[in-house]
Chains A and B, each alone.
Chain A
Amino acid sequence: MSNLIRKVSPYGTFHVAEARIRNMAKWTWVILFAAVVNPTLYLVSIGIGVGSLIDANNGVDGVSYLTFLAPALLASAAIQGSSDEVIFPTMAGFKWERTFFGMRSTPISARQISFGIFVAAMFRTVISVVIYWIVLYLFGALESDTAWLAMPAALFAGAAMAAVMLALAAKIESEDFFFMLVGRFVMIPMFLFSGTFYPLSQMPVFLQFVGWISPLWHATEIGRYLTYDYPLSGLQLLTHMGVLTVMIVVGLFFSVRFFAARLEK
């Protein structure tokens, strides 16, 4: 009689993340190039172009437009990067290449697969955010001593978005529907209506709700508070952090369930 003598590695999440990171490594130059070029384009066009007009009118919140814009752009980059890194690997893992089914036939669990994808996405997001931050710094968008705090705020948003997208990408099996939904009705409106380019309060109230449910707005608020004298009460700060935390927890909770259900098929 044979016995089950083999130990199961408790680090399955990191083994999955390792596989993902090896995949990303094939695209190192593309990832780095995008991480530098994207912020540069935004900063030149909007930061400097639009910024010069606004700064001629005394800026926003009593700071230069670039300072106002920087935390929002950083958070937006984090969200974009982390979303891409969960959406495409999840689609590929379940449908295009079915690699998740391969992982599932090893001791790896559904939870470890979903968390592994999330961890790898955050790894890439950290790199992108640091590079983005350096570019912002070089453009002079970050003046205060606490400017580096924009990075954890942005990563917070990236994690919230990644967790939600992870659940959605596992649940929604039609990629056409998914990309239509996410591309048109989530990403772009979120980018435009989250107080990214102007304070959310400039919008009529019925449009401000987009910001309230947007991780970008919450992270931007936190980022602004941390990088300059942006007025935010302790309660507001906690609320913003609370919303993002809830998104992470709920997103990951449903990710595990949806991954398990789909791997069972």
Chain B
Amino acid sequence: MSEPLIHARGLTKTYGDFVAVDGIDFDVAKGESFGFLGPNGAGKSTTMRIIGATSVRTSGTLTIMGKDPEVNGPQIRAHLGVVPQQDNLDVELTVSENIYIYGRYFGLSSSFIKEKIPELLEFAQLEEKKDTKVQTLSGGMKRRLTIARSLVSEPDILMLDEPTTGLDPQARHILWDRLFRLKEKGVTLLITTHYMDEAEQLCDRLIVMDRGKIMAENSPAQLIKDYSTREVLEVRFGSEKNHEMVDVLRPLAERIEVLPDRILLYAEDGESLLEEIAAKGIHPNTSLVRRSSLEDVFLRLTGRTLVE
């Protein structure tokens, strides 16, 4: 087996007494799309910064393309494209200028960057905005520009920290489509997200993180298979009655989770479970049958929901 592109063992980062990343192990292969799923504060962004060679780990080993980021930071960063959680574009400059200066930071020649700009503008669907100051762009446009900018150096690894947080659904789908294209081209993607749908859409493999630790690691489909049932029946009885119903419902389902506003019943076949419940004379105010998602995996692993 070839050596992984990113190799981490016992990776740890502490800030004083606070352990942000708690001894995690993972490997990322070339061309893989690898996700970090977890709620805010799980340690995803810290892990990304350590991989991005901008934050120094407290302990553990880490190699990126065979080198230690602590020793070879600038050389490693020369191979990375980074899309941070918060855009940090130069808002006084135009769209094209932002790509240009970013390319210069990589030591790329003016002529190379100038040839590259039209291609990146097309990728980001910002051709018409090329001479517009970044200040006036929408959130989605800024996000796409940040991604386009990170591609100017043709990175081997593209790191995206919460790429679609704060975007409307349409802007998210455009972005996902762009990321798919990169994946098809063989770019290794590292993505952190607290959106399960994003993780399901984009990641070949992911680790579920909580409080600095890895709770599980696998492909999205396998995680769902391992930690949840095929379907979920969501029922609501009103906030007063939900708790009363738990004991009645528990024997009927494989597993049950009680959320503040609803009860989740895990089963292979949600519809027949609902019929079974109705046959016992139990009639929830509303009911919904859906496929299990990573949200359910997370709930199972941590007892908490992802977006709180």
Contact = CB atoms under 8 A, between A and B. Distances in A.
B172 interface: no
A215 B239 CA distance: 70
A201 interface: no
Contacts of B5: 2
A99 interface: yes
Contacts of A23: 90, 92-93
Contact of A2 (B78, B86, B156): B156
Contact of B101 (A12, A15, A26): A15
B204 to A, nearest CB: 18
A6 B88 contact: no
Interface string B96-118: 01000110111100000000000
Contact of B54 (A1, A22, A105): A105
A175 interface: no
Given A4-B76, A4-B79, A15 B104 contact: yes
Contacts of A3: 65-66
B101 A6 contact: no
A97 B88 contact: yes
A104 B82 CA distance: 10
Contacts of B156: 2
Given A99-B88, A99-B89, A6 B75 contact: yes
Contact of B55 (A15, A98, A264): A264
A101 B76 CA distance: 16
A9 B107 CA distance: 5
Nearest to B107: A9
A186 B88 CA distance: 31
A107 B107 contact: yes
Interface residues of B, number: 38
B2 interface: yes
B75 A102 contact: no
A103 B82 CA distance: 10
Given A2-B156, A19-B90, A107 B105 contact: yes
Interface string A82-112: 0000000000000001111111111111000
B101 A4 contact: no
Nearest to A2: B65
A18 B65 contact: no
B3 interface: yes
Nearest to A18: B104
A104 B54 contact: yes
A180 interface: no
Contacts of A6: 75, 78-79, 106
A97 B65 contact: no
Contacts of B72: 4
Interface string A28-67: 0000000000000000000000000000000000000000
Nearest to A106: B105
B65 A22 contact: no
Which of B74, B76, B93, B153 has the most A CB atoms < 10 Å from its CB? B74
Contacts of A107: 74-75, 77-78, 105-107
Contacts of A98: 84, 86, 88
Interface string A236-264: 00000000000000000000000000011
Contact of A102 (B55, B79, B102, B106): B102
A144 B220 CA distance: 80
A261 B5 CA distance: 28
Contacts of B78: 4, 6-8, 106-107
A105 B90 contact: no
A11 B93 CA distance: 21
A97 B105 contact: no
Given A98-B88, A101-B84, A264-B54, A4 B107 contact: no
Nearest to B108: A9
B198 to A, nearest CB: 21
Contacts of A1: 2-3, 65-66
14 contacts: A1-B65, A2-B65, A4-B78, A4-B79, A6-B106, A7-B78, A8-B75, A15-B101, A99-B90, A101-B84, A102-B89, A105-B80, A107-B78, A264-B56
Interface of A: 1-4, 6-9, 11-12, 15-16, 18-19, 22-23, 26, 97-109, 263-264
Q: What are the 7 A-B residue pairs with the smallest beta carbon separation, nearest first?
A: A9-B107, A105-B82, A106-B105, A98-B88, A102-B88, A6-B78, A107-B74
Given A4-B65, A6-B106, A106-B78, 15 more contacts: A1-B66, A2-B30, A7-B78, A8-B78, A9-B106, A15-B101, A15-B105, A15-B107, A23-B92, A97-B88, A98-B88, A102-B89, A104-B54, A105-B77, A107-B105
Interface of B: 2-3, 5, 30, 52, 54-56, 65-67, 72-80, 82, 84, 86, 88-93, 97, 101-102, 104-107, 153, 156
